[in-house]
Structure 1
C-alpha cells in the first residue's frame, strides 16, 4: 500500500431493506494513522454502514476495500481477522475487571494460543498475555486513558 492508497475505500455503497434505501451512494476514503467520525441524526444509516463494513449485511451495490482488498462477500469473522470490528450500542463492561483488562478482552482476535494451552498456562500463553497487555496499554495511551488502566 502506498501513501496515496487509502486504508479504507468505500465507493457508491447502497443498502436497501425491501423498499427502504438505508444507504444511497455512500463514498469516502480514509488513510492510515487518521481518526474519523461518522456522525448524523437517528435513522441516518450510521449503524447500517458499520454493519455492512463488518460483513453483517451484504450491500445492495458498491464496493468496500480495506488495504486494497475487496470486503464484499467476506464473512464477518474474516473481516474481523483483518482488523475491522465494531462494538454494539449496548456495550457491557466487565465490572470486576480493570480498564486495562477490559481492553485486553477486545484483543481476543489477536490471540493465537488454544484453549488447552491457556488452561495449562504454558509459557507461550504467558508470553502472549504480555504482548496483549502491551498492545492494550498502547491503545489506552492513544485514547489518553492510561492513567485509568488499573481502575
Structure 2
C-alpha cells in the first residue's frame, strides 16, 4: 500500500473529545517510518457494490454508514492535520456526468455524491472540486 509504512496496524477505539459527550468509536491506526500515524475510519460499504439496471439520473442511492456518527466524524476531522476520503468507481459502458463541462452551463450530472454539508458534488474520486470530471477525465485517460 505505502512503501513508507512500518507495517504495524492497530484496531483501537478513539475518544476524540476526551471526557466530553462523544463516545469512543473504532478506528484502524497505521504507523509509518517517518512518525506519521494515519487513522482510518471504516464504514459498512467497503466491498464493491455491483450496480446494474438503473437508467434515470440519481436513481441508485447508497447511504454510507460509518463506524462513527456525524458529530464524532466532525470532531475527528477538526483534530486532524489532514483528512481525505477515497472513492473508487469501476464501470463498463456507464456515465458519471452526461453534463456540459463549461462552468456557466447548468450542472445536470447522471450521478453524484452528496457532501457532509448536504451539497451535490460535481466531481468524483481524486478529481478537482468544480472540474465536473472524474480523475480519469483530469488525467486524460
TM-score by length of 2: 0.31
Q: Which is helix-richer, 1 or 2?
A: 1
**Larger RCO of the pair (alpha carbons < 8 Å, separation 6+):** 1
